[in-house]
Amino acid sequence: MLDRFYMPALGLAALAAIALALVWPQGLGDRSPAPFGHTPDQRTPQAQAAMRRAAESAQRDASHAREAVRSLQTQAIAPSQ
């Protein structure tokens, strides 16, 4: 008797999961099918430019930090008098 209610409920849950998969984005930055969704924020030119600036800034900061450590190591090994 429990199967009489369980199996239809399971079928409805499966259909609901399929319907949700049709309208929900499939991963970070991916677009939903045509009638649903919109262009992801990560793909807009402004967001890509901001991400590029952030990456360049991080590389610059890392380079300055490496240079500072290298300078301190050089001073520790051969201090200038």
Residue 39: what are its φ and ψ, rounded to 5°?
A: -65, 130
Please give the span between the terminal C-alpha atoms of the chain, in angstroms, as a whole number: 93
pLDDT in tens, 57-80: 999 999 999 999 999 999 888 876
pLDDT in tens, 25-60: 666 666 666 666 667 777 788 999 999 999 999 999
